[in-house]
Chains A and B, each alone.
Chain A
Amino acid sequence: MSEIYGSWWWPYVMILVAGFLATECWRWIGVFASGKLREDSLLFAWVRAVATALIAGIIARLVLFPDGVLGDVPIWLRLAAVAGGVVGYKLLNDRLMAGIVSAEFVLIGGWAFLI
Chain B
Amino acid sequence: MTSSEMNVDEGEDPSEFEGGAYWFRQGAKGAFCLPTLILMMAFVGFTSLAREVGLTLVEVLLMSLLMWALPSIVVLTGAMSAGAGLIPAAIAVALSAVRLMPMTVALMPVLRDEKRTKTWQMLFVSHFVAVTAWVFAMRNLPSLPRAARLPFFAGFGSTVHFVVLCSTALSYMVLPALEGPIAAGLVLLTPIYFMFSMYQASRTSGDKAALILGLILGPIFYHFFPGADLLLTGFVGGTVAFVGWLFATRRAEL
Contact = CB atoms under 8 A, between A and B. Distances in A.
Interface of A: 5, 11-31, 33-35, 37, 39, 42, 44-70, 72-73, 78, 81-82, 85, 89, 94, 96-97, 99-100, 103-104, 107-109, 111-112, 115
A19 B63 contact: yes
A73 B182 CA distance: 12
A68 B187 contact: yes
Contacts of A35: 108
A62 B191 contact: yes
Nearest to B94: A22
B97 A107 contact: no
Lowest 6 CB-CB distances: which A-B pairs, in order?
Answer: A56-B214, A30-B104, A50-B238, A53-B237, A51-B99, A54-B234
A74 B105 CA distance: 40
Nearest to B98: A51
Given A26-B104, A33-B101, A100-B189, 11 more contacts: A17-B90, A27-B127, A39-B106, A49-B209, A54-B231, A55-B211, A56-B198, A56-B212, A56-B233, A107-B185, A108-B181
B179 A57 contact: no
B207 interface: yes
A46 to B, nearest CB: 5
Contact of B67 (A20, A28, A52, A89): A20
Contacts of A111: 180-181, 184-185
Contacts of A100: 38, 189, 192-193, 196
A24 B66 contact: yes
Interface string B69-104: 101111110111101001001111111111111111
Interface of B: 34-35, 38, 48-49, 52-53, 55-56, 59, 62-63, 66-69, 71-76, 78-81, 83, 86, 89-109, 112, 119, 122-123, 126-127, 129, 179-185, 187-198, 200, 202-204, 206-207, 209-219, 221-222, 229-231, 233-239, 241-242, 245-246
5 contacts: A17-B86, A56-B195, A59-B194, A61-B218, A69-B179
Nearest to A67: B49
Contact of A33 (B49, B78, B105, B207): B105
A46 B204 CA distance: 11
B59 A42 contact: no
Contacts of B75: 58
Contacts of A72: 184
A58 B52 contact: no
Contact of B213 (A29, A56, A65, A104): A56
A115 B182 CA distance: 12
B100 A30 contact: yes
Contacts of B221: 57
A53 B211 contact: yes
Contacts of B197: 96
Contacts of B100: 23, 26-27, 30
Contacts of B239: 46, 49-50
A25 to B, nearest CB: 7
B43 to A, nearest CB: 14
A52 B90 contact: no
A18 B98 contact: no
Given A53-B238, A96-B200, A112-B180, A5 B83 contact: yes
Contacts of B48: 68-69
A96 B233 CA distance: 25
Given A17-B86, A19-B67, A30 B103 contact: yes
